[in-house]
Amino acid sequence: MDKFEILDHTADVGLVAWGKTKEELFANAALGMFSLICSVEEVDGGFTTQVEVEGSDYEDLLVTWLNELLYLFEAEEVVLKQFNIQELGQYYLKAQVEGEPLDPKKHHIQRVVKACTYYEVKVEEVEPQLWRAQVYFDI
Amino acid sequence: MAEAWKGPLQKVDDWRWLIPRTYKKGMLTDGMIYASEKMISAIRKDQAPEQVANVACLPGIVGRSLAMPDIHWGYGFPIGGVAATEEKGGVISPGGVGFDINCGVRVIKTNLTEEEVKPHMEKLLSLLFTNIPSGVGSKGKLSFSIPELEKVMEKGARYIISRGFGFGEDEENIEERGAMEGANPEAVSTKARERGKNQLGSLGSGNHFLELEVVEQVFRPDLAEAFGLFPGQVIIMVHTGSRGLGHQVCTDYLQEMQKAMSRYGISVPDRQLACAPCDSPEGRGYFEAMACSANFAWANRQLITHWVREVFEQVFQKSAPALGMFVLYDVAHNIAKWEEHEVEGKKMKLCVHRKGATRAFSAGNPTLPPHYRDVGQPVLIPGDMGTGSYILVGTELAMQETFGSTCHGAGRVMSRSEADRRSKGRDIAGELKERGVLVRAESKATLREEIPEAYKDVGEVVEVVEKAGISKKVVYARPLGVIKG
């Protein structure tokens, strides 16, 4: 099982993520998003924080979660690569995220992701122990 | 790849294609796409026409759901989409503006010719590249305190000019005179402020750029003269927006409107079209915060203008006024605005959403500055990097048909991953140099994703709006040098 794959979109970029559990799915979606921003292999540790978000369903929660991480990237200037989902209900997510303060000499930023959109967002359990999510980003 | 769109497109004339309201349940009006026959097959390749139909489902839509010839697949609205909603019973949708609120274009004129500028191109580009921060997460050179940031959000470019970064007359050559009414910083979240505060005075990345161009072709000499443009003249085009502030405002209010929609009994075919009644607390809050972001963007382009002038002053050892460095105009192409339009003989106050579309007011419009009132508003249309830009003027037909709107640029035809594949191993900067265009870019990846063939030919786009009669070509300008984020 791949963790994620990139979808073609004329103006922007889509992402499909997979996970055996929905926790793993949300972590892989976040990893997929950061792989669009930079080479995650270049990211070491040194920064950790708690993230909590609320949503009206899994789709809303996924979009809100990814947008919260984009906020951290831009306002706190950190690149992230480790996402430990501690609690995930239909309306609430709590996670510990890890990464490193952004260092332009070390981290090669590839592109700006302006936001995660609600366009065609999907979170579904396609078969037992296989979750799939799809989102599009505004680039 | 994207799924092709199989819905009905009825040919009205050579430049107009109608999606009848019977196509889909929930459509309240027809959709109309401005395009040539040749473009239509490309437009059908993805779901952009479906998005035109989805926009036609927005409560309180007035007139048609419109798409300009640079239409391409977006999220929520198509890029190139225009929709007007009424004050009472109508909705406002953050998806009808987009994340990059008041992404727009400004043109600064000079009295220099290509011959005078050519010998200094390398130096000019290097200095512009050093003096104007660009790239992902780029920060401005000045730091603004929170009270100053609030003034920027309220007063936009006017505040920046009052701080000494511009000429007094710059103000009247900016849409909304550089500051939209109704901006209320209290509607802007702390997160949005945090994201935006260090980015004022920066270009950003993606399709944003700063370009030196030369006026190569004049289509309408009388209008060119009224705009102060002449063949061989060097002009500077700045394309950027409200940076992280706008992105966060859109994110915040989309989430809020997701929650509010059921309360107002609104359902839309795409969650990215989340909206709220214009006169609801959520609708008003979004408008106030969006206006703050729009003002931030005008302030941003004003600061960049100031640094462009400084660089030219340094290189040519003359003052900016002596170099004729006046603002031609500054247009927003991602915005929602309250405007008065005549619909079926009746004057109406409408919320006009333009997502990748440019306001193109015609001669006689009382909101235009006096020197453009007799000719109409300059409309600034950037091409992709390397193929040049057009300056158009609005028409009376646009006022009647498109709420005074026209196209905004070339429009992508190729996904970023495809552009990446096609440009693998190529020296894009070298290729452009061979075509006479010098490039400085912060990121090679951006350069590859933005290769010229990833875009529609801006010439074809402009041809359609001219033939359809919603704008008139004034000049074409060829690129000399580009700075990309």
Taking only the tens place, the pLDDT of each residue in B422-468 is: 999 899 999 999 999 999 987 788 888 888 888 888 999 999 999 99
| Range with the poorest average pLDDT among B137-151, B279-293, B355-369 | B137-151
pLDDT score of B334:
98
CA torsion angle A120 A125 A129 A130 (round to 10)? -30
B173-188 confidence digits (pLDDT tens): 999 999 999 999 999 9
pLDDT score of A104:
83
Predicted confidence band of residue B140 (pLDDT cuts 50, 70, 90) = confident
Is B371 considered catalytic here?
no
- pLDDT, averaged per 10 consecutive residues of chain A (139 residues), comes to 85 91 97 94 94 95 97 94 95 97 87 90 96 94
Domain ranges of chain B: 10-484
Provide φ and ψ at A86, rounded to 5°. Answer: -95, -35
Q: Which residues of B touch A138 (CB under 8 A)?
A: 75, 98-100, 247
Q: Active site residue: B247, B333, B353, B408, which one?
A: B408
Domain ranges of chain A: 4-138
Q: Are B205 and B485 in contact (CB under 8 A)?
A: yes
CA torsion angle A123 A138 A113 B289 (round to 10)? -110
- Give the three-class secondary structure for A69: helix
CA angle B25, B85, B256 (to 5 degrees): 85
In CATH terms, the fold of domain A4-138 is Archease, Possible Chaperone; Chain: A; domain 1 (3.55.10)
- Tokens 């001219």 correspond to B466
Please determine, for residue B361, whether its predicted confidence score (pLDDT) is greater than 60.
yes
pLDDT score of B350:
98
Q: Is A132 exposed, middle or buried (0-12, 13-18, 19+ CB in 10 A)?
A: middle
pTM for this predicted structure: 0.95
Contact B75 A77 (CB under 8 A): no
Q: CB of A114 within 8 Å of any CB in chain B? A: yes
CA distances to A17, B76, B84, B167, B258 from A119, rounded to whole Å, are 16, 6, 21, 42, 13
Q: Which residues of B touch A139 (CB under 8 A)?
A: 206, 416
Q: How many CB pairs under 8 A join A and B?
A: 112
Amino acid at residue number B246: G
Q: CB of A40 within 8 Å of any CB in chain B? A: no
Beta pairing class for B438-441 and A115-116: unpaired
Q: Is B405 exposed, middle or buried (0-12, 13-18, 19+ CB in 10 A)?
A: buried
User: Among residues B321, B343, B226, B268, which one has the least CA distance to residue B91?
Assistant: B268
Contact B136 A111 (CB under 8 A): yes
B14-39 confidence digits (pLDDT tens): 999 999 999 999 999 999 999 999 99
pLDDT score of B1:
52
Closest in B48, B255, B446 to A64, CB measured: B255
Nearest CA distance, A19 vs chain B (angstrom): 23
Please determine, for residue B80, whether its predicted confidence score (pLDDT) is greater than 60.
yes
- Testing the interface with A: which of B72, B416, B420, B444 to mutate, by most A Cβ within 10 A? B416
Q: CB of A105 within 8 Å of any CB in chain B? A: no
Nearest CA distance, A127 vs chain B (angstrom): 24
Contact B191 A71 (CB under 8 A): yes
The helix (run of H) or strand (run of E) holding residue B412 is none
- Testing the interface with A: which of B251, B268, B423 to mutate, by most A Cβ within 10 A? B251
- Give the three-class secondary structure for B107: strand
B226-240 confidence digits (pLDDT tens): 999 999 999 999 999
CA–CA separation, B437 vs B237, rounded Å?
Answer: 14
Q: Which CATH architecture has domain B10-484?
A: Alpha-Beta Complex (3.90)
The ipTM, to two decimals, is: 0.91
Contact B205 A102 (CB under 8 A): no
pLDDT score of B51:
97
